[in-house]
């Protein structure tokens, strides 16, 4: 178990180094840090001095190592546009994105799994057909369209929910602005979270449904019935549990996707998160932010992958054995 | 003689298909007495498993019991509610399936699967259920049972897993066990052990057994009576010794030919030519008539009913009544 974890951490570190090299390449070659930082009428000498100061004359390998070393200390440089350390900018925006992604995931999992279980058990009921037809809409409508439709219906027409922004937030030790503690903040979360999570919800539901139908055909379910186990035991203790390994894999990746690619939803709802920051940084070719965002996304995916691997072992004893061997 | 523990009368099972119902079990009747092992043999597709699943109420749609009755200790069980049926399964009637490798939930400790089954049917505490689980594992011959309750299915060999499956089927002490080819998936060396175990456990507990198998050797070893099935019907039923030694139905004779060691002169019997008709193309009269050397015009149009023929009961207009030599003539 420990050896497995160490091996996995090692692999994760390798992935991160590769991503860091890509981020460095972006950082070093796509933008020109010097021209972004000096004024228009700086002399060539001034430029050269700055270049030397920034270490841009060093060998590439040294620069790259330097970049990685600084990244490890959360030093991603200064944003060209905001003239502020990138880490501060990301730090301010991160709570908004993480809270949005967390609520969207809860929404997707909390509704997707029960619907998947229901439609997997009652394959042909009328309600199942309605749900499956509805889920097709969820898969096929683009996110921005869903967002706009929801805004039109619940904000513009019915005035039930705000159409943009985070609403009221409270601060935790000045480090974390949360929208989860005020009714205004919670209300502001509803539409973006639904918009962001809807696709994942249908994905989770369809996956759970097909896995349930698969598992319900197995011999151990049949034998469970032959022993007179209750439906509850059959469906939840045996069937659902056996669907979890593939379901958790997908959920892990999807949560990463929610965090890293909430760009569209954040844009539609003017949600002050990292996605919005990223889209602004693209417009201004604000390379340090883009490079840092790339690194952050990689960290999120690698971490989620690790969590998924650990969950596998907790769920499936056969994987534990394979790991020990 | 006391009343049978299980009594099946004129059972009919049909599958609804687009082109109308397919009758897979047609008029099957038999009694199972207390402590008796009744074997079911016949070719693949004859309806042996389906008869067993009908008795335990586990036929999957589009299959459905469309006629006849099933009585357990005199009480009809073929039209109970889903919940009433569930309480009977495991508690009154248990079932063992063919494949021990896939019959156990891979993610649950076998102890928990046993405890779960016991608690479902018997009002005992978890601790007591656990003690019973250990006892059951000991009874089915699992060494170091007290430790093995904590193991997962993949930690057992095939034969050991089938023992666990048997323990699970016996967990709530049912009166009737349906064993559907319980040894087919196992190594030959293990098969005999499992059969011996089944025989020992069922006779100790006075359980009645429906033993479905392709293996006449197994039947000869532990069954009291045997029913020969063909195309969804019982074509012959009687004490094992009689059906093996003096089968009356031409099809049974052909089947017995597959165990020459039991009775030397049958070794000369040739394989039955042809194959069992598909359910979609059942002949009008006796389903075996197209393959039967003794069939005449009547066999093609009229369906023979089960009747006493010599030592056994069989469904044939021209039963083999005396010696084997008669077949040739
Ligand atoms: N879902 C189904 N739809 C249509 N026919 C079915 C279905 N399931 C089973 N049958 C038919 O029911 C008949 C009896 O099948 P059953 O499984 O009882 O045979 P069996 O005697 O147990 O054979 P085997 O020795 O291969 O296990 C077969 O002819 C089969 O084609
Ligand atoms: Mg079968």
Q: What is the DSSP string of B140-155?
A: TT-TTHHHHTT--GGG
In the predicted structure, residue A59 carries a pLDDT above the cut 80: yes
pLDDT at A321 over 80: no
**CB < 8 Å to A223, chain B:** 95, 97, 103-104, 165, 168
Check: CB of residue B170 under 8 Å from CB of residue B121: no
Residues 6+ apart with CB under 8 A from A238: A215, A220, A221, A224, A229, B105, B108
Residues of A in contact with B107 (CB under 8 A): 241-242, 315-317
Task: Indicate whether A93 belongs to any domain.
Answer: yes
Q: CA-CA distances (angstroms) from residue A246 to A56, A251, A252, A260, B285?
A: 47, 9, 10, 22, 53
- Asked whether B207 and B176 are in contact (CB, 8 A), the reply is yes
* B184 touches A at CB < 8 Å: no
Distance, CA of A197 to chain centre: 11
Taking the C-alpha atoms of residue B23 and residue B13, their distance in angstroms, rounded to an integer, is 6
Tell me the CA end-to-end span of chain B in Å, nearest whole number: 40
CB within 8 Å: A226 and B94: yes
Q: List the single residue in A219, A224, A316 with the smallest CB-CB distance to B102.
A: A219
Paired tokens of B49 = 């498993």
Bridge partners (DSSP) listed for residue B121? none
Query: Cβ of B63 under 8 Å from any chain A Cβ?
Result: no
- In chain B, residues with a C-beta closer than 8 Å to the C-beta of A224 are 105
- pLDDT for position B268: 45
Decide: residue B313, CB within 10 A, 0-12 exposed, 13-18 middle, 19+ buried: buried
The CA distance from B222 to the nearest CA of chain A, in Å, is 23
Domains identified in chain A, total number: 1
The residues placing their C-beta within 5 Å of ligand 2, an ion, are B 49
For ligand 1, atom 30, name the residue with the nearest CA. B45
User: What is the predicted pLDDT for the residue at A240?
Assistant: 94
Range of the domain at A313: 87-324
CB atoms within 10 A of CB B261: 10
Could you tell me the residue ranges of all domains in chain B?
6-223, 252-328
Please indicate, yes or no, if residue A304 is contained in any of the structural domains. yes
Q: Ligand 1, atom 4: nearest CA belongs to which residue?
A: B15
The reply to whether A219 touches chain B by the CB within 8 Å rule is: yes
Note whether A17 and A68 are within 8 A (CB): yes
pLDDT of residue B202: 86
The per-residue pLDDT for range B235-280, each reduced to its tens digit, is 999 998 888 888 888 888 888 765 544 444 444 444 677 788 888 8
* Nearest ligand by distance to the CA of B46: 1
Cα dihedral sign, B258-B261-B266-B270: positive
Determine contact: B57 vs chain A, CB below 8 A: no
Q: What is the pLDDT of residue B266?
A: 44
Residues of B in contact with A233 (CB under 8 A): 116, 120
Mean of pLDDT values over A150-157: 87
Q: Is A130 contained in some domain? A: yes
Let me know: does B74 contact B259? Beta carbons within 8 Å.
no
d(CA A112, CA B312): 60
Give the Å distances, CA to CA, from A184 to A96, A148, A188, A190: 14, 20, 6, 10
Residue A148 near residue A255, CB atoms below 8 Å: no
Q: Which two tokens stand for residue B143?
A: 């060494």
- CB B237, CB B27: distance < 8 Å: no
Alpha-helical regions (H) of B89-172: 110-121, 126-139, 145-148, 158-170
- In a mutagenesis test of the A interface, which of B106, B118, B152 is the best target, namely the one with the most A β-carbons within 10 Å? B106
CB of B106 closer than 8 Å to CB of A318: yes
Best probe of the A interface among B85, B103, B154, by most A CBs < 10 A, is: B103
Kindly state whether residue A185 falls inside one of the protein's structural domains: yes
Give the residues across from B30 on adjacent strands: B8
Mutation for testing the A interface, residue in B105, B109, B170, B210 having most A CBs under 10 Å? B105
Q: Is residue A104 part of a domain?
A: yes
Percent of all residues in chain A with a pLDDT value above 70, rounded to a whole number: 96
Asked if omega into B62 is within 30° of 0 (cis), the reply is yes
Structural domain includes residue A234:
yes
Give how far Cα B29 sits from Cα of A180, B7, B63, B313, B321, Å.
68, 8, 19, 12, 23
Name residues whose C-beta falls within 8 Å of residue B188's C-beta, 6 or more positions apart in sequence: none
> Could you tell me if B174 and B91 are in contact, meaning their C-beta atoms sit under 8 angstroms apart?
yes
CA angle B130, B148, A221 (to 5 degrees): 75
B45 lines ligand 1 (CB under 6 A): yes
Q: Whose C-alpha lies nearest to ligand 1, atom 16?
A: B47
How many whole angstroms separate alpha carbon B125 and alpha carbon B122? Answer: 9
Strands B176-180 and B307-309: unpaired
Distance from CA of B105 to the nearest CA of A (A): 5
Q: Does B164 touch chain A (CB under 8 A)?
A: no
The nearest alpha carbon in chain A to B54 belongs to: A226
| DSSP conformational letter for B305 | P
- pTM across the whole model: 0.83
Residue B117 neighbours by CB under 8 Å, 6+ apart: A227, A228, A229, B90, B168, B171, B172
* Residue B52 alpha carbon to ligand 2 centre in Å: 9
- As beta bridge partners, residue B1 has none
Tokens of A169: 């937030």
Test A227 with B117 for CB contact under 8 angstroms.
Answer: yes
Q: Is B104 on the interface with A (CB under 8 A)?
A: yes
Residue A325 confidence class, pLDDT cut points 50, 70, 90 = low
**Ligand 2 centre distance from Cα of residue B80 (Å):** 24
> How far from A276 is each of A191, A279, A288, CA to CA, in Å?
16, 5, 15
> Does ligand 1 have an atom closer than 6 angstroms to the CB of B233?
no
Nearest to B115 by CA among B149, B138, B144, B141: B149
The domain that contains A247 carries what CATH number? 1.10.3720.10
Tell how strand B6-17 and strand B20-32 pair up.
Answer: antiparallel
Minimum-distance CB partner of A225 among B89, B91, B102: B89
Please list, in sequence order, all residues whose beta carbon lies within 8 angstroms of the beta carbon of residue A158, skipping any fewer than 6 positions away. Answer: none
- Which chain B residues touch A246 with a CB distance below 8 Å? none
Phi, psi (5° rounding) for residue B186?
A: -100, 160
d(CA A221, CA A213): 11
Collect the ranges in chain B with pLDDT lower than 50: 260-270, 323-329
B91 close contact with A: CB closer than 8 A: yes
CATH tag for B6-223 (out of 3.90.1200.10, 3.40.50.1000, 3.40.50.300, 3.40.50.970): 3.40.50.300
Residue written as tokens 């016996």? Answer: B170
Q: Scanning every residue of chain A, which has its alpha carbon at the shortest distance from the alpha carbon of B95?
A: A226
The alpha carbon of residue B261 and the mean position of all alpha carbons in its chain are separated, in whole angstroms, by: 23
Contact A313, A319 (CB under 8 A): yes
A218·B102 Cβ contact <8 A = yes
- Residues from chain B contacting residue A317 (CB–CB below 8 Å): 106-107, 152, 154
Q: What's the gap in Å between the CA of A186 and the closest CA on chain B? A: 39
Q: Locate A268 and state its tokens.
A: 């539609």
Tell me the three state secondary structure of residue A141. coil
Task: Please judge whether B89 and A218 are an interchain contact, meaning their C-beta atoms are less than 8 angstroms apart.
Answer: no
The answer as to whether A274 is a domain residue is yes
Looking at ligand 1, which atom is closest to the CA of residue B276? 29
CB-ligand 1 contact for B55 (6 Å cutoff): no
Which segments of A122-158 does DSSP mark as H helices, in order? 126-140, 143-150
Q: Using CA atoms, how far apart are residues A244 and A311, in angstroms rounded to an integer?
A: 10
* Strand pairing category for B176-180 and B208-212: parallel
Q: Which of B87, B103, B106 sits opposite A223 (nearest CB)?
A: B103
Per-residue pLDDT reduced to its tens digit, A91-114? 888 889 999 999 999 999 999 999
* Structure confidence at residue B271 (pLDDT): 64
Widest Cα–Cα separation across chain A: 87
- How many angstroms from the chain centroid is the CA of residue B303? 24
Note whether B232 and B15 are within 8 A (CB): no
Which residue, B15, B14, B22, B24, is CA-closest to B229? B24
Tell me whether residues A317 and B107 touch, CB distance under 8 A.
yes
Average pLDDT over residues A5-10: 86
> Which of B91, B103, B168 is opposite residue A219, by nearest beta carbon?
B103
DSSP label at B263? Answer: S
**Neighboring chain A residues of B162 at a CB cutoff of 8 Å:** none
B81 touches chain A (CB under 8 A): no
Q: What average pLDDT does this structure show over A174-200?
A: 86
Q: What are the residue ranges of helices labelled H in chain A?
A: 2-25, 33-37, 44-53, 60-72, 86-121, 126-140, 143-150, 183-216, 219-226, 231-232, 241-260, 263-268, 274-283, 287-315, 317-324
Tokens 């995931």 correspond to A105
Closest by CA position to A168, among listed A154, A182, A148 = A182
Cβ contacts (< 8 Å) between A234 and chain B: which residues?
none
In this structure, is residue A64 part of a structural domain? Answer: no
């Amino acid at each position: 178990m420990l050896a497995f974890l160490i091996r996995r951490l090692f692999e994760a570190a390798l992935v991160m180094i590769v991503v860091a090299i890509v981020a460095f390449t972006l950082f070093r070659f796509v933008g020109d840090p010097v021209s972004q930082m000096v004024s228009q009428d700086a002399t060539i000498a001034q430029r050269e001095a700055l270049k030397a100061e920034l270490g841009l004359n060093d060998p590439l390998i040294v620069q790259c190592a330097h970049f990685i070393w600084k990244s490890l200390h959360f030093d991603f440089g200064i944003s060209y546009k905001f003239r502020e350390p990138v880490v501060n900018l990301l730090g301010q925006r991160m709570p908004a994105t993480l809270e949005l992604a967390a609520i969207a995931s809860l929404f997707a999992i909390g509704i997707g799994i029960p619907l998947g279980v229901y439609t997997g058990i009652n394959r042909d009921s009328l309600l199942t057909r309605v749900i499956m037809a509805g889920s097709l809409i969820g898969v096929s409508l683009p996110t921005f369209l869903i967002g706009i439709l929801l805004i039109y219906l619940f904000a513009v027409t019915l005035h039930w929910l705000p159409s943009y922004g985070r609403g009221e937030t409270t601060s935790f030790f000045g480090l974390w602005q949360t929208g989860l503690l005020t009714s205004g903040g919670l209300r502001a979360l509803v539409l973006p979270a639904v918009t962001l999570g809807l696709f994942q919800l249908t994905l989770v539901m369809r996956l759970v449904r097909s896995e349930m139908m698969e598992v319900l055909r197995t011999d151990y379910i049949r034998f469970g019935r032959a022993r007179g186990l209750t439906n509850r035991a059959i469906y939840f203790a045996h069937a659902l549990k056996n669907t979890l390994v593939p379901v958790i894999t997908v959920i892990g990746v999807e949560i990463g996707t929610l965090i890293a690619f909430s760009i569209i939803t954040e844009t539609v709802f003017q949600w002050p998160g990292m996605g919005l920051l990223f889209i602004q940084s693209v417009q201004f070719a604000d390379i340090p932010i883009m490079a840092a965002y790339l690194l952050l996304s990689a960290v999120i995916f690698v971490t989620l992958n690790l969590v998924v691997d650990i969950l596998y072992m907790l769920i499936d004893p056969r994987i534990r054995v394979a790991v020990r061997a | 003689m006391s009343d049978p523990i299980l009594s099946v009368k004129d059972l009919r099972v049909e599958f609804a298909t687009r082109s109308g119902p397919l009758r897979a079990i047609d008029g099957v009747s038999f009694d199972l007495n207390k402590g008796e092992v009744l074997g079911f043999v016949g070719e693949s597709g004859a309806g042996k498993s389906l008869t067993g699943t009908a008795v335990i109420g586990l036929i999957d749609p589009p299959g459905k019991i469309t006629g006849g009755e099933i009585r357990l200790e005199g009480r009809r069980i073929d039209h109970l509610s889903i919940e009433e049926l569930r309480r009977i399964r495991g508690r009154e009637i248990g079932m063992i399936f063919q494949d021990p490798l896939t019959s156990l939930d891979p993610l649950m400790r076998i102890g928990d699967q046993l405890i779960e089954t016991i608690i479902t049917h018997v009002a005992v505490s978890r601790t007591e259920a656990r003690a019973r689980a250990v006892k059951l594992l000991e009874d089915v011959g699992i060494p170091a049972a007290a430790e093995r309750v904590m193991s997962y299915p993949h930690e057992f060999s095939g034969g050991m897993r089938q023992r666990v499956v048997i323990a699970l089927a016996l967990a709530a002490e049912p009166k009737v066990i349906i064993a559907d080819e319980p040894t087919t998936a196992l190594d030959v060396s293990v098969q005999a052990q499992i059969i011996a175990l089944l025989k020992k456990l069922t006779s100790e507990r006075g359980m009645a057994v429906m033993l479905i198998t392709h293996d006449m050797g197994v039947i000869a070893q532990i069954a009291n009576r045997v029913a020969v099935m063909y195309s969804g019907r019982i074509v012959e039923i009687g004490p094992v010794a009689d059906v093996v030694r003096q089968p009356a139905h031409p099809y049974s004779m052909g089947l017995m030919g597959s165990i020459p060691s039991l009775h030397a002169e049958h070794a000369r019997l040739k394989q039955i030519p042809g194959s069992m008709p598909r359910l979609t193309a059942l002949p009008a009269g006796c389903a075996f008539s197209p393959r039967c050397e003794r069939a005449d015009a009547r066999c093609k149009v009229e369906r023979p009913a089960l009747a006493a023929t010599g030592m056994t009961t069989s469904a044939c207009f021209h039963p083999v009544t005396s010696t084997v030599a008669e077949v040739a003539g």
